[in-house]
Chains A and B, each alone.
Chain A
Amino acid sequence: MNRILSSFKIFPSVFNIYGFLFLAFLYMPLALIVLYSFNANPINIAVWTGFTFDWYRTIFGGAAVETTFDSAFSESPQRIFEVVKNSFLVAVSAATIATVIGTATAIALARYKFFGKRFYQTLLLLPILIPDIVLGIALLVFFVGVGFELGLLTIIIGHVTFLSSYVFVVVSARLAGMDTTLEQASADLGAGPFTTFRRVTLPQIMPGVVGGFLLAFIISLDDVVITYFIAGVGSQTLPLFILAMMRRGLRPQITALAVLILVFSFVVATVGLLLRNRKS
């Protein structure tokens, strides 16, 4: 008698309960922030005193913060708008450059034989694998050493360094599952490498490229550690702004901002993951 195998059948409910708890562990903390972002209690966020939209309104400048106690912890809508703008500028530029570089690299490694391929394969995994803090300080030391002024440009360069690897991984997976006969046919019919790429390869890997871009975009938008070291004084991104706010204390305004970021990240990541997983 197969006891282990049958135990899957006899105790599916045990496994299901475990699975449910597992998902609850992942989502309960996030659900709780969403819930408490609507809590009217300004002093203790964890004690429910009523429903309010005020914290969201203060972010968009719709409502002034009423309690003087809280105004010390609140930021003006203009300031929030500025850091959000910085974050988007960085994320769009970094993700775009990383998508071009990552895709080009993925094609080179998937479609060409050359000396040093193994080296590139290992090298490309390193920026994802090494601890963020090490990459952050290495970039800081480098930028200061060569006299680059820290700012949005250094953040973009820093992000491109590790985002290219993410895009490379996503696009490589797409290329690996792709039929190469169409590319060969295109080459046999006299198309150059560039034409073949534009007319045959690119349309097929497009979901992977767009998915990679969106994932890179959201990782850039959310990055804390690397940005923290290479941001310089005048260029704050949204995560750094939240970090500074959190260090001053837990305020309902942060909760509301956190929820907005969470929802945005989840929407973009969902589209990215769907594109990545879409079968051709």
Chain B
Amino acid sequence: MITGKTVQSRKTQALLLLLSPITILLGAFFLIPLGIMVVYSFLEPGLYGGVEWTWYPYNYGRIIGWPLNDYETFEPIYLSIFLSSLKIASLTVIFSLLICYPAAFWVSRMSERRKSFVLFLITLPFFANLLVRIYAWLLLLRPTGFINMALQSIGLVAQPLDMLFSSFAVIVGMVYIFTPFMFLPIYANVEKLDYSLVRASQDLGATPLQTFLRVILPLTLPGIAGGSIIVFIPALGNFIVPSFLGGSKVQMTGNLIERSFLQSRDWPFGAALALLIMASVVLVVMFQVVRSSRAQARGAA
């Protein structure tokens, strides 16, 4: 005879069994490592890598430009690299948004069959190897690359354009890589767009521009915000794209982090830089959560 109590305890057992692997996994190999990184960012770098267990707030001081000793002067070089990373990541978001927004409307008006095929085509490049995609743009943007050859052969430019190793190349590469990330959230939103509201706005005499700005844009804003966040986060911390397409000319915070871990072996400083990126990510996500919950509250009221 199975009583209610044994059913309940069997359910609890099953739940424990199902949840313990992920709890152990994310506890041991995600939360603890992140915690150690936070601790490290406040410790003194060891002479040959590793850390000295002494309180050392200067890792963050160095980011702001604080001189470490008498030989250094106040120079916020790391801060300016961080600001230019913010700029590159923001431009990546803006350009991929401009490319994906009209495309989302294009796909949303298709027949079901065609739609699922085109959606598949747009998702597929996400699974192309990151390096292969960067490699393609190296071949395209080089002075002797495909774009320059084409421009020269039709006589548009006399000298090959110096496109590679610039912020431009980095942004192009990142827009290319993150386009599927931007497209899908926007599309999910545009797909649900209630056209009766668009019709109502038009019937009430709004111009197309007014309808777009006051009806369509606000209604698709959640998708825009979602896509922007999903693109902004990996763009901000990226180091592979700038190291190939930006060369030595474009430095992003990701490159600094990579170097402090694998070359200069200043782990605490690298950890502090990584936390600077994490802090920006958390700020952006928090901003979005507050904004959307406010919008929800307004909708409920």
Q: Mark B245-261, 1 if CB is under 8 A from A, else 0.
A: 00000000010011001
A-B contact pairs, 5 of them (CB 8 A): A33-B136, A120-B22, A222-B128, A258-B132, A262-B129
- A:26-64 near B, CB below 8 Å: 26-27, 29-30, 32-33, 36, 44-47
Name the B residues within 8 Å of A266 (CB-CB).
124, 127-128
- B:36-73 near A, CB below 8 Å: 36-37, 40, 50
Check: A127 CB closer than 8 A to any chain B CB.
yes
Check: A193 CB closer than 8 A to any chain B CB.
yes
- A:188-207 near B, CB below 8 Å: 190, 192-194
Closest to B235 in A: A131
Name the A residues within 8 Å of B50 (CB-CB).
144
Closest chain B CB from A247 CB (angstroms): 8
Q: If A5-B202, A130-B233 touch, does A138 touch B33 (CB 8 Å cutoff)?
A: yes
Name the B residues within 8 Å of A258 (CB-CB).
129, 131-132, 135
Q: Could you tell me the distance between the alpha carbons of A275 and B267 in the complex, rounded to whole angstroms?
A: 43
B29 and A158 form a contact (CB under 8 A): yes
Closest chain B CB from A30 CB (angstroms): 6
Q: Which residues of A contact B (CB under 8 A)?
A: 1-5, 7-8, 12, 15-16, 18-19, 22-23, 25-27, 29-30, 32-33, 36, 44-47, 100-102, 104-105, 107-108, 112, 114, 120, 123-124, 126-127, 129-135, 137-142, 144-145, 157-158, 160-161, 164, 168, 190, 192-194, 215, 218-219, 222, 224-225, 229, 239, 242-243, 246, 250, 254-255, 258, 261-262, 265-266, 268-270, 273, 277
Q: Could you tell me the distance between the alpha carbons of A267 and B274 in the complex, rounded to whole angstroms?
A: 35
Task: Give chain B's interface residue range (CB within 8 Å of chain A).
Answer: 35 or more
Check: B224 CB closer than 8 A to any chain A CB.
no
Closest to A2 in B: B202
Q: Which residues of B contact A (CB under 8 A)?
A: 2, 10-11, 14-15, 17-19, 21-22, 25-26, 29-30, 32-34, 36-37, 40, 50, 99, 102-103, 105-107, 109, 116, 118, 120-140, 142, 144-146, 149, 176, 179, 195, 198-199, 202-203, 208, 211-212, 216, 233-234, 236-240, 244, 254, 257-258, 261-262, 267, 270-271, 274, 277-278, 281, 285
Q: Could you tell me the distance between the alpha carbons of A218 and B125 in the complex, rounded to whole angstroms?
A: 12
Closest to B134 in A: A246
Name the B residues within 8 Å of A270 (CB-CB).
120, 124
Name the B residues within 8 Å of A129 (CB-CB).
233, 281, 285
Q: Could you tell me the distance between the alpha carbons of A219 and B116 in the complex, rounded to whole angstroms?
A: 22
Q: If A130-B233, A131-B236, A193-B11 touch, does A4 touch B135 (CB 8 Å cutoff)?
A: no
A261 and B129 form a contact (CB under 8 A): yes
Q: If A123-B26, A131-B277, A158-B29 touch, does A46 touch B144 (CB 8 Å cutoff)?
A: yes
